[in-house]
Amino acid sequence: MKIPALGFMLSLAFASAASANTTISTLDDWDSSVSPFGTPETATYGQTITIGDKAQILESFSFILSDLSAAFTIEVGSWTGSRVGEILYASDPFKFVATSDYMEITAFPSVTLAANSQYVLYFTTSGIQDGVTSTNEWGFTPDEAYAGGTFVYLNNGNDRSQLTGADWRTNLGGDLAFTATLAPVPEPSIYGLMLVGVGLVGFAARRRIFR
């Protein structure tokens, strides 16, 4: 078998693994509505999302913030319908020089989300509040723009135990101004095709060396 044919096999495998990515976004519906969060305001804001009948990898999650005067983390958790079931991802703290410009803040969790399940993507100052009065503002859509979830929040101050131990508020409607990029979990057959292709490339290369 020739190397170009093997290269095509590998390209096909990687293309199959990377195809059908899904983007959920409410940014086009954001009308510049903002609300404060941090200290002494509400510490935690988020968005629930629903995964369909196939598991997905959450590649990235972004949202809108301005006046970034307080540190915060970006996190992902399973959603029970009223609170976080298990925290699956927590970023290192973000801290920026205060600015009045709106910024799209992005994290790259790369966590696998199970099929037919709900999750919450959120940002929080809880656990890292340093006494600095925050004027952070986050963007939201006043009307529901995403049918698979809703905006949620928690007045948990600096107490992280409430993330999983207390019911969140879900009564305001609307959505976070956010974008989430999901990728399908590669099928076992795709991994097999990749391994076969890599092995054959190595074998062909060795044959060339010893000719």
* Secondary element (H or E) of residue 189: helix 188-210
Token couple for 35: 């609300």
Q: Which residues span the domain enclosing 54?
A: 20-184
Question: Is 133 within the bounds of a domain?
Answer: yes
Question: Is 148 within the bounds of a domain?
Answer: yes
Question: Is 204 within the bounds of a domain?
Answer: no
Of 14-28, 86-100, 139-153, which one has max mean pLDDT?
139-153
Average pLDDT over residues 47-53: 96
Average pLDDT over residues 101-114: 92
Taking the CB of residue 173, how many other CB atoms lie within 10 A of it? 12
Q: How confident is the model at residue 19 (pLDDT cuts 50, 70, 90)?
A: low
> In terms of pLDDT, which residue wins out, 50 or 125?
50
Of 31-35, 36-40, 90-94, which one has max mean pLDDT?
90-94
pLDDT surpassing 90 at residue 80: yes
Angle at 175 between CA 174 and CA 180, to 5 degrees: 160
Q: How confident is the model at residue 146 (pLDDT cuts 50, 70, 90)?
A: very high
**Phi–psi pair at 76, nearest 5 degrees:** -135, 135
Question: What's the mean pLDDT when you consider all of the chain?
Answer: 81
Question: Is 36 within the bounds of a domain?
Answer: yes
Model-wide pTM > 0.85: no
pLDDT value for 38: 74
Question: Is 208 within the bounds of a domain?
Answer: no
Identify whether the C-beta of residue 57 lies closer than 8 Å to the C-beta of residue 185: yes
Question: Is 197 within the bounds of a domain?
Answer: no
Question: Using one digit for the tens of pLDDT, what is the confidence trace for 170-189?
Answer: 877 789 999 999 999 987 75
pLDDT value for 129: 77
**Phi–psi pair at 203, nearest 5 degrees:** -65, -45
Lowest mean pLDDT among 38-42, 112-116, 120-124, 140-144: 38-42
Identify whether the C-beta of residue 25 lies closer than 8 Å to the C-beta of residue 156: no
Lowest mean pLDDT among 42-46, 55-59, 157-161, 197-201: 197-201
CATH for 46: 2.60.120
Instruction: Please state the domain count of the chain.
Output: 1
